[in-house]
Amino acid sequence: MAGRTIIAPSILASDFARLGEEVAAIEAAGADWVHVDVMDGHFVPNITIGPDVVKALRPHAKIPFDVHLMISPADPYLEAFRAAGADYISVHPEAGPHLNRTLKQIRKLGAKAGVVFNPSTDPSVIQWMMDEVDLILVMSINPGFGGQTFMHSQLRKIEALRKMIDAEGRDIPLEVDGGVTPETAPLCIAAGATALVAGTAVFRGGAERYAANIAALRG
């Protein structure tokens, strides 16, 4: 689908001691969404931030907050993230127990419901409920850490999901997360991605580089 690629900087790569300023800086630099990586040290081998931090950051930017939950279970925390200001809430099917119930709950809370695909997760997991998905996020790394190398094997999956979205006929954003750089971004876009998450590639070089770093991902 044509249109400007959505750029969602992952604040995982920002200066955690200055998170509010970092969020304001990426908005000023042209970011479309703020990508928030939530990790529990159980579903993934790292611990990051919770709903109170999202709540504290929310006044620092007007653009949507794209909250990527790498926690299991996710259901008990959906309401808190929504109340904190999450606009998109995405979950991994493996977080369990019932993906469809989780998506319905996210929508009921008034947020957009996203599904995240680990490198090993098959597109068929959403095949029978495309009408209940508002965002598709393809991991091009194993979740847990920033700064990893892009897995080219995931390009075919992006293509497959592009076909499923086109068949559905709704403009569901198709987002890619992990190892996205000015070199790999065009590959994702050519495969059908419409949104790109980038941590390292946006936050490197300091705030004066953010606008150029974001522009470089748009190609």
Q: Does 40 bind Zn ion (CB under 5 A)?
A: no
φ/ψ of 36, rounded to 5, equals: -115, 120
Return the bridge partners of 9, or none: 198
Length of the chain as a residue count: 219
Question: What is residue 54's three-state secondary structure?
Answer: helix
Single out the segment in contact with ligand DX5 by CB under 6 A; choices: 79-87, 91-99, 124-132, 176-184: 176-184
Q: Does 185 bind ligand DX5 (CB under 6 A)?
A: no
Which positions are catalytic? 37, 177
What whole-number distance in Å separates Cα of residue 111 and Cα of residue 188?
Answer: 26
Q: Does 180 bind ligand DX5 (CB under 6 A)?
A: yes
Total number of residues binding Zn ion (CB under 5 A)? Answer: 3
Output the CA–CA distances (angstroms, integers) from residue 216 to 22, 28, 30, 139, in the order listed.
19, 16, 12, 21
Neighbours of 122 (CB within 10 A): 12
Build a one-symbol-per-residue string for 35-54: x at contacts with ligand DX5 by CB under 6 A, - elsewhere: x-x-----------------
Question: What is residue 136's three-state secondary structure?
Answer: strand
Build a one-symbol-per-residue string for 49-78: x at contacts with Zn ion by CB under 5 A, - elsewhere: -------------------x----------
What whole-number distance in Å separates Cα of residue 25 and Cα of residue 43?
Answer: 30
Q: Which residue lies nearer to ligand DX5 by CB, 12 or 172?
A: 12
Q: Does 194 bind ligand DX5 (CB under 6 A)?
A: no
Residue 128 Cβ, how far from ligand DX5 at the closest point, in Å? 26
Interface ranges with ligand DX5 (CB under 6 A) = 10, 12-13, 35, 37, 68, 141, 143-144, 146-148, 177-180, 197-201
